[in-house]
Structure 1
Amino acid sequence: MFPDRKFSSLKRGALLASAIALALAALPAASRAEVREMRLRAGTSQSDQHPDYLGFKKFAELVSEKSGGKIKISVAPGATLGTDVQMQANLQAGTQDFMSGSPVTMAGQIPEVSVLDLPYVFRSTEEYDKLMDGVVGARFNELMAQKGWIGLGFTNNGFRETTTKTKPITKWEDFQGLKIRAIQNPMYLELFSTLGANPTPLPVSEIYTALETGTVEAQENPLPQIVFMRLFEVQKYLSLTNHSLNSVVMLVGKPTWEKLNDDEKKIISEAAREVTLYKRDLVKSKTGEWLESVKKAGVTVNEISPAERERFAEKVKPVVEKFSAQVGKDFSDMYFSELKKIQSGAN
């Protein structure tokens, strides 16, 4: 008896469909029809030698690789697309796709970000990384999403240090009367005022000239900025005050994110996670090298003794308390509770 031709045909069709489905499932996401060709833009205010830029270049390479070359990302360094605040607005408007910058510059829209840079809170960069990989980072992602930004990962550029022209900083009293450039952020301005300094808010692009002309005699930044902005040419001392951690966040604008399908979002998310880990390792591995380059340039480097660091922390405690209170008790309690768990080894 011959088999039913119709049944055989249907069976063969079903088997063929199954084979195709299995083959498609085995293919990388880049080869699937769901991933479309697109050109996206990323920006950072840092130079093309800075970890923020290098991280973005790595991100662009990974996205291109994972998408089979379909998704291309151009990266603009040196504030080409604007300051951090301007780029944040670009992302909200959909005129720019990605950026990397300091979360503290979002304080006007998200007051809670101020706690990230509070002085003498973190003892190591590892504490920060663990905190931002947990419920605290998740909460910040929720707050950013409400304002039109999707968080792709938190990194840092190490601790902020102080450079001066006339004398090193060895104790908090050395800040008294010092004309220092500070971030245009209420917490930083109050921090240096509390130490007795005269903080002057200036954009990053004006720091070198301000130091060169004597408009200010000191500034504070993490080592990558000090090195790549060549501030060692106009400063004589580098004091490792480690007064706050320089947090960084990588963002994609919500308008861009909502245009992506699930496969494209997966590619972006996976690449971003890889780059987050890459950049954290990069900063840690390069810190010693950056420090040596400053010394070779003729700058005198000094550390702050543990006893003096405790005196610094005690002096600026009112700043920590004031800005912690401003973000609300619930958020502040959650933030410091999670940090305490990490510092006690509970996490």
Structure 2
Amino acid sequence: MKKGKHLVSLILAAAMAAGLTACGGQTAPQTTAAASEGTKQAEAAAPAESQEKEEASAGKAEVTLSLNHVGATTHPYQYGSERFAELVSEKTGGRIAVEVYPASQIASGAKAIEFVQMGTLDIALESTMAAENFIPEIGVLNLPFLFENADQAFSVLDGDVGNELRAAAEAKGFKILCWMYNGFRDISNSVKPITAPEDLKGLKIRVPESQVFLKTFETLGGVPTPMAISEVFTAMQLKTVDGQENPSAIFVNNKYNEVNDYYSVTHHIFTAEPLIMSLDKFNSFSEEDQTTLLEAAQEAAEYQRQLAIDSADQELQQIKDAGVNVNVVEDMSDFKAAVQPVYETFKDQYGALIEKIQEATK
């Protein structure tokens, strides 16, 4: 792992010297609480054993790939990434190793994908919000209420629509190895529970820098405020924003219970996480190794998705136990009706993909 640590030092030094900041306002995390978008679940599956396997395989590997993600070492991102590393090592007899860098050690958001593009980083597990800066078609996945449940979304991502998005990525010089999962997004704030669209009127809600997210919360009557995840805790503490929207894992890990009193389960947007590699790097491998990388990634994704699903109920209970007022919006029909103008706004850009997704989810 000395080589890996040296790589991180060089990357961070270069980034500081060049004054690099994450595109779309996504900067590397500045605080312990905001350094990861994960949760503390599944600790029984401690990463120590797999980390030892990574180090052992890296010692004899012909090629070592760096993989960066934003999650903590206890987040399903980490377990999914480690599983990918294990499978790649097993399937190649240790010829190819994957070194995993959690908690945005190398970069986060659009900057991580830019590093992949530059060849500074080999693989990034990043959000669709960050990816849409490079692969616009992926932005369709950020539309509100696109999927009813995770299984429905996985079916689409692993099917024809997912393949079409993969092709769009290749046209831009990227290879999507698989689709992992972060969860459905909910709304938290320090003012009141959200039970209907009108409850959002005038509330300043932090959102990622995505045109779809901005339009969605504008349409719902809120005041969307884009900012980096690393700035959110302080912004809510100082009342710069009233709240935020994210999957429960982020709320728990970033301790937003300290600055938010209300958590409303709205599940308004499904959050997929593509595992992205540069196409040039992918094509540098033999056809056999390319197949191995894709197979290992898909197996790891299925493992990671289940971990994320299984942890959701635990996270919600943790939020309740922390004294936060939790309400579940059982009937989302008013919200769905309210965001129809969002679909109209992006019809020209995503219309064909929206139709294919709707057809696939009937």
- Which TM-score band applies after superposition, normalised by the shorter structure? 0.7 to 0.9
1:71 maps onto 2:92 in alignment: no
Name which of structure 1's ranges 142-151 and 228-237 shifts more when overlaid on structure 2. Answer: 228-237
Q: Give 1:255 shift.
A: 2.6
CA contact (8 A) 1:43 1:99 kept: yes
1:336 aligned residue:
354
CA contact (8 A) 1:99 1:252 kept: yes
Aligned mates of 1:243, 1:181 — CA distance in 2: 15
Aligned mates of 1:325, 1:314 — CA distance in 2: 20
Determine which structure has more spread, i.e. the larger CA radius of gyration: 1
Q: Give 1:227 shift.
A: 1.5
1:326 maps onto 2:349 in alignment: yes
1:231 maps onto 2:249 in alignment: no
Q: Give 1:36 shift.
A: 6.3
1:315 aligned residue:
338
1:84 aligned residue:
109
Q: Give 1:39 shift.
A: 1.4
Aligned mates of 1:63, 1:154 — CA distance in 2: 17
1:15-41 deviations in Å (ceiling 9; x for gaps): xxxxxxxxxxxxxxxxxxxx9611110
Indicate which of 157, 164, 169 corresponds to 2:189: 164
| Greater than 4 Å deviation, 4+ residue runs | none
1:199-246 deviations in Å (ceiling 9; x for gaps): 111101111111122111100001111122221222111101111111
1:134 maps onto 2:136 in alignment: no
What SS is found at the alignment partner of 1:82?
coil
**Which residues of 2 match residues 1-347 of structure 1 at below 5 A?**
37-306=62-331, 309-327=332-350, 332-333=351-352, 335-344=353-362
Aligned mates of 2:234, 2:284 — CA distance in 1: 42
1:91-146 deviations in Å (ceiling 9; x for gaps): 11211111111123232333222210111221111111111111101111111011
Unaligned runs of 5+ in 2: 1-59
Aligned mates of 1:324, 1:80 — CA distance in 2: 37
Name which of structure 1's ranges 64-73 and 80-89 shifts more when overlaid on structure 2. Answer: 64-73
1:36-86 deviations in Å (ceiling 9; x for gaps): 611110101222222222211111122122222232211112222112211
Quote the RMSD (CA, aligned, Å): 1.6
Name which of structure 1's ranges 162-171 and 46-55 shifts more when overlaid on structure 2. Answer: 46-55
Aligned mates of 2:167, 2:334 — CA distance in 1: 36
Aligned mates of 1:123, 1:324 — CA distance in 2: 20
- Percent identical residues: 33
TM-score (norm 1): 0.83
